[in-house]
Amino acid sequence: MTAHTFKVWRGERGTGAFQDYSTDITEGMVVLDAMHQIQAENANDLAIRWNCKAGKCGSCSAEVNGHPKLMCMTRMDELPAHEPVTVEPMRAFPHVRDLVTDVSWNYEQKKRIKKFKPRAPDAPDGTWRMMQADVDRVQEFRKCIECFLCQDVCHVLRDHHKHDEFVGPRHLVYTAALEMHPLDIEDRLGDLKDEHAIGYCNITKCCTTVCPEHIAITDNAIIPLKERVVDSFYDPVVKLVRLLRAKRT
């Protein structure tokens, strides 16, 4: 057992400062355990959001030593042993208190995306047939636990504050899951281009790096969506390329 120092962000609605706490670390502890221990021992009113403690619900997102992480899946022994650990709230969303931010913006974005619309059933009993190979890709996107860490790290939101225009990587993954769903017949490409501003994404891949579910956000969701948008709106360059290709073959 060793005592470790934590610098924890305390404060309300934008004002606040790091405060030092020391607590004992035992084998196998994760950052969330340390926060709970501090809460029980020294700071009963320390605000933390969490539920499952097993990386399944996406509640405990925060920035640990400056990196967007799930606190419940970040082991103390992965962090440098002799330096204080900083724990602060996600910075891309309005601050509420201590480690808690207001993520309601994300819920509003999702509502703006047209919902699932299936084709007519395949069988007389009202059911459909889909092959596993055809759903593998969509199942990858549906692993998303809505931790919003990708939203937190995306510079379009974090640095350029385009919250009014850009839906962010999480919702591009969501749109991809709908667009690539074998049964879906809705068209969301116009919205993607105009309402959801997919064009703001310049494929830096920061979102993919932080995703705790290891979803290949950029390669598998965003890039194919961008291609569909471009194809469907006759980008002159793409059109030319396609014409040339067509001539060659």
Interface ranges with ligand FES (CB under 6 A) = 50-53, 55-60, 70, 72
Q: How many residues does the chain have?
A: 249
Q: Where are the beta strands (DSSP E) in 41-138?
A: 61-64, 67-70, 85-88, 95-97, 100-101
At a CB cut-off of 8 Å and minimum separation 6, what does 130 contact? 182, 183
Q: Which of 8, 62, 147, 189 binds ligand SF4 (CB under 6 A)?
A: 147
Residue 34 vs 222, nearer CB to other proteins: 34
174 with 110: CB under 8 angstroms?
yes
Residue 149's binding partner out of ligand SF4, other proteins, ligand FES, none, with CB under 5 to 8 Å set by partner kind: ligand SF4
Query: What would the x/- binding string for ligand SF4 be over residues 81 to 120, using CB under 6 A?
Result: ----------------------------------------
SS3 119: coil
Distance CA 140, CA 213 (A): 9
Q: What is the DSSP string of 176-229?
A: HHHHT-TTB----HHHHHTTS-GGG-----HHHHH-TT---IIIIIIHHHHHHH
Told to check if 185 binds other proteins by CB under 8 A, we report: no
Residue 19 vs 195, nearer CB to ligand SF4: 195
Residue 55 vs 199, nearer CB to other proteins: 55
Query: What would the x/- binding string for ligand SF4 be over residues 150 to 169, using CB under 6 A?
Result: x--xx-x------------x
- Say how many residues touch ligand SF4, by CB under 6 A: 29
Distance CA 175, CA 245 (A): 29
Question: 3-state DSSP: the chain helix, strand, coil percent, rounded to 5?
Answer: 40, 15, 45
Residue 23 vs 175, nearer CB to ligand SF4: 175
Told to check if 216 binds ligand SF4 by CB under 6 A, we report: no
Residue 177 identity: A
> Quick one: how far is CA 158 from the chain centroid?
13
Residue 53 vs 91, nearer CB to ligand FES: 53
Residues in contact with ligand SF4 by the rule CB under 6 A: 58, 144-150, 153-154, 156, 169-170, 173, 201-207, 210-213, 215, 217-218, 222
Residues in contact with other proteins by the rule CB under 8 A: 12, 26-30, 33, 39-40, 44-59, 73, 75, 77, 96-98, 100, 102-104, 107, 110-111, 115-116, 118, 126-132, 135, 138-139, 142-143, 145-146, 178, 181, 183-184
